[in-house]
Amino acid sequence: MSNTSDKLTLIVEFSDGLDTLIKDDLLKKVDGRPQATLTLASEHSGRPTSIRDLVEYIRDNCIKRNPELFYMENGVRPGILVLINDVDWELTDDGVD
């Protein structure tokens, strides 16, 4: 069982204009690409933190304006790709309810 004080530190890259929605103090450029380092709890509601939890965290804590351009209903808007190590998250177990 994981300790609830355990944290996940993730580097999240925002591209193709999505970076304009993210709070400026969170972003830094690495090799010309806008990135943010985010720290989340390793558990969420008694289960391991998922990519869906990360997307909701970004929506709730990182978007500075127009969250509807990023998030819609139960996930990211159509046309926004969420990639994990260059693989579409919907092809992973976490991308499907």
Question: What does the pLDDT look like over 45-84, one tens digit per residue?
Answer: 888 988 889 999 999 999 999 999 999 988 899 988 888 8
Region 15-34: mean pLDDT is 91
What is the token pair recorded at 70? 């990023």
Residue 87: the pLDDT is: 86
- Buried b / exposed e along 65-90 (16+ C-beta atoms within 10 A): eeeeebbeeebbeeeeebeeeeeebe
Q: Are 67 and 75 in contact (CB under 8 A)?
A: no
pLDDT of 4 above 50: no
Cα gap 65→71, rounded to integer Å: 12
Q: Do the Cβ atoms of 42 and 49 come closer than 8 Å?
A: yes
The single residue listed with the structure tokens 């204009």 is 17
Q: What's this model's pTM, rounded to 2 decimal places?
A: 0.80
